[in-house]
Structures are given as C-alpha cells and as structure tokens.
Amino acid sequence: MKYPLSEKYMTASLLSKMMGPNPLKLEEELLTGHHIPPNATVCDLGSGQGLTSVFLVKEYGFRVYAADLWSDPTDNRRFFSEMGLTAEEIIPVKADAEALPFKKDFFDAVVSTDSYNYFGRDPHYLDNKLLPFVKEGGYIYIAIPGMKKDCHDHLPQELLLSWTPEQLDYLHDTTYWSSIVRQCQKGEVLDISEMVSNEEVWADWLKQDNPYAIGDRKAMAAGGGQYLNFIRIVIRKKAAPSPLTEKEKEVTS
C-alpha cells in the first residue's frame, strides 16, 4: 500500500513521537473510504503524544479531541500550536477510556489507532462506555495490533524474546475480536478484517532510538512479525428505537 498522506510527516522529529508501529500509516489505511462527514467532531481515543490527532485535523479536516490518559495535555497543546493548529481545531484532554468526560451523543466519530486492545476487550465496553458518546449514525474506526491466529497456548519463542505472556495477551486474531464486538447491541459492525499495514509500519517503528523500539527489535529480527498483524474494525451506531405511540401501546398491551 502507498501512503501519500502519511509521507508528508516522515520527519525525524515527528516520528520520534510514535509510541509503536507507525500510527499515521495505520490511520491512513483505516480511514481509506471512510464515511465520517466533513467538519465532523472526532475523538482520537488513545491519542498518545498527539501525532494522529494532528493528522486527523490536517488531512481530513475534522475538529479533534485528543483524548489520552498518559500524555500531558499541556505538552500536546504546545505541539499542536507548533503544528499551526488552533484551540478550536484540536483540544487535548486527559481522559480515561473507561470513564470518558464528554457529553452523551457528542461525537460524529471515534478513531482509535493502536490502543483499543488495552481497554476494549470487555464485550460490554462498546455499549456501556463508548457508544453513548457517539451520535446516532456515527462511526467508530479502530486499528489494533493483533495476531494472524491466536497462539496463547503455545506462544512462539520469537515473540517471547521481546514480550511476556501477559503483554501478548493484549494481542488476538480477527476471530477473537469478532466475537467481542459482535456482542454489541447499540452498534452495527460494518467491517472486521486484517489490514495490509504490518511490515512497513513495524519497520518505521524499529528505526526509532528509544528503549521500547529497541526492545521490540529482538522479536522482529527473529521472525516474530510472521505471527502478527493489524486489524481494522468499523462500527456504526444504530438509531434508537422510536417510542411507541399511544395507539401502538394499546395494540401491544
């Protein structure tokens, strides 16, 4: 796959803000042919140091709330300003994905790149903790690291060179994720599929000079990438059922 939008951001200073395999390329693939309306209000859930949030504003024209639990909103605000974005275009928020501090039905869409697997494995998470903040007919776009096939009973030694079994338990295959998200009652699953982005996004990450990327090199150099993939999930929030009229109530009573 070619990444014409992401290629604009392939500078050392910007790539140093990555916290895993290149999230811009993942997001570009994730949003290929997307249905989010122009000028939409979007939550970048698990936004990290704000790189994907900037991308959503500059390349897609969304108004973005950069929501992350572990990043400093002051630092992100400074970065956004350096990137020429205003406080009206992009808003950094310190937020726990389990207890989002927004009004109900606030967002046209939620985009989550390389983070949803940390908080979304509860089958009730979508209905109880995320979809309430999305407008009817709104969308959730998710790109998560996964496995080509779950192998937790016999973890390959290549993967164990860099990660513990506890860390690898956050990675699962499309069958697993399908079983999780299809339990959702308030949303319709439009897509769950393996992404083509894998080797290239990993290559960008492994070039980085930070302890996490350096630690990941052992597994990937040994061939661990053959077991891994990224997974795309697209969900649309259903319309709430219309309340019964008095006549309908009489019929059903």
- pLDDT at residue 248, as a whole number: 60
Using 50, 70 and 90 to split pLDDT, how confident is the model at 1?
very high
pLDDT at 68: 98
Predicted local distance difference test score (pLDDT) of residue 157? 98
Strand partners, 109: 42, 139
How confident is the model at residue 241, as a pLDDT?
78
Instruction: Note the pLDDT tens digit of each residue in 66-105.
Output: 999 999 999 999 999 999 999 999 999 999 999 999 999 9
How high is the pLDDT of residue 203?
Answer: 97
In order of start, what are the domains of the chain with their CATH numbers? 6-147+170-198+229-238 (3.40.50.150)
Contacts (Cβ under 8 Å, ≥6 apart) of 159: 168, 219, 224, 227, 228
Task: Return left, alpha or beta for 197; rule: phi > 0 is left, psi -120 to 50 is alpha, else beta.
Answer: beta
pLDDT in tens, 129-171: 999 999 999 999 999 999 999 999 999 999 999 999 999 999 9
Residue 96 to residue 45: CA distance in whole angstroms: 9
The pLDDT, as a whole number, for residue 102 is 98
Q: Please state the three-class secondary structure of the chain as a single string.
A: CCCCCHHHHCCHHHHCCCCCCCHHHHHHHHCCCCCCCCCCEEEEECCCCCHHHHHHHHHHCCEEEEEECCCCHHHHHHHHHHCCCCCCCEEEEECECCECCCCCCCEEEEEEECCHHHCCCCCCHHHHHHHHHEEEEEEEEEEEEEECCCCHHHCCHHHHCCCCHHHHCCCCCHHHHHHHHCCCCCEEEEEEEECCCCHHHHHHHHCCCCHHHHHHHHHHHCCHHHHEEEEEEEEEECCCCCCCCHHHHHHHC
pLDDT of residue 246: 62
pLDDT of residue 249: 59
Query: Cβ distance 101 to 132 under 8 Å?
Result: no
Partners of 93 in beta bridges: 67
Tokens of 76: 């992100």
Q: Is the pLDDT of residue 223 over 80?
A: yes
What's the whole-number average pLDDT of the chain?
A: 96
Residue located via tokens 């006549």 = 247
Maximum Cα–Cα distance for the chain, whole Å?
69
pLDDT (0 to 100) of residue 251: 61
How far apart (Å, rounded) are the C-alpha atoms in residues 232 and 119?
A: 16
Please determine, for residue 243, whether its predicted confidence score (pLDDT) is greater than 90: no
192 with 30: CB under 8 angstroms?
no
Q: Please, which pLDDT band fits residue 199 given cuts at 50, 70 and 90? A: very high
Q: What is the pLDDT confidence band of residue 245, given thresholds at 50, 70 and 90?
A: low
pLDDT surpasses 60 at 13: yes
